[in-house]
Amino acid sequence: MGIFVPNITFGPAVIQALRQHSDKVFDCHLMIEPVDLFLESFAKAGCDIITVHAEATKHLDRSLQAIRSLGRKAGVSLNPHTPESVIEYVLDRLDLVLVMSVNPGFGGQAFIPAIVEKVRRIKAMIGNRPINIEVDGGVTPETAPLVVNAGANVLVAGSAIFKGGKDAYARNIAAIRIAEAG
């Protein structure tokens, strides 16, 4: 059982086992507390991007520095209730901002509409910096264009992809891609 959220999907051992079978980017979203104790394990397992929750560390700047010192790209995740101002002073340490559009921990939740404006404000705050904006939670063909138009360029979808069984996966992914392209 986790402390920040009640379940962990993939730990370092699973990442390490999968890493040898793929050259894709492994974008690791750590929904654990305390997070700093696990950064090295996930880096050694083969994660390319390590994202920590601003709410799960007392020293966000230190956590981001630690990720970078391990040779990995650094990301920060913000829960729906967390104001984007918490990243204002660490922008130059970031490669990614992950905006949670549901409360983290469980799939199948409804998208929180106020997140669209939060993404827009984060995009303005980032300016010309090469920082990706990722949105996770409730991403569907209906919500994808909203967050992409607000500035998101990476989308995480779970329930919207896996509904309908394995015969529907490709069709579900295509529907989100078509919708986000507008």
Confidence of residue 3 (pLDDT cuts 50, 70, 90): low
Tally the domains of the chain.
1
Is residue 84 one of the residues assigned to a domain? yes
pLDDT at 22 over 80: yes
Is residue 2 one of the residues assigned to a domain? no
Confidence of residue 1 (pLDDT cuts 50, 70, 90): very low
Confidence of residue 78 (pLDDT cuts 50, 70, 90): very high
Is residue 7 one of the residues assigned to a domain? no
Stretch 32-59: mean pLDDT, rounded?
Answer: 93
Q: Of 60 and 10, which is predicted with more confidence?
A: 60
What are the tens digits of pLDDT across the range 128-150?
A: 999 999 999 899 999 999 999 99
Q: Quick one: what percent of the chain has pLDDT higher than 90?
A: 72
> In sequence order, what are the residues at sequence separation of 6 or more whose Cβ sits closer than 8 angstroms to the Cβ of residue 13?
45
The residues facing 139 across adjacent strands are none
Nearest to 149, CA basis, from 135, 170, 129, 130: 135
User: Residue 178: what residue type?
Assistant: I
Q: Of 158 and 151, which is predicted with more confidence?
A: 151
Is residue 4 one of the residues assigned to a domain? no
Is residue 125 one of the residues assigned to a domain? yes
The 3-state secondary structure of 18-37, one letter per residue: HHCCCCCCCEEEECCCCCHH
Give, as one character, the DSSP assignment of residue 156: E
Chain CA centroid to CA 36, Å: 17
Is residue 83 one of the residues assigned to a domain? yes
Is residue 63 one of the residues assigned to a domain? yes
- Residue 159: CATH number of its domain: 3.20.20.70
Expressed as residue numbers, the domain containing 71 is 12-181
Strands annotated E in the chain:
27-30, 49-53, 73-78, 96-100, 132-136, 154-156
Q: Of 10 and 20, which is predicted with more confidence?
A: 20
Stretch 99-114: mean pLDDT, rounded?
Answer: 86
Is residue 3 one of the residues assigned to a domain? no
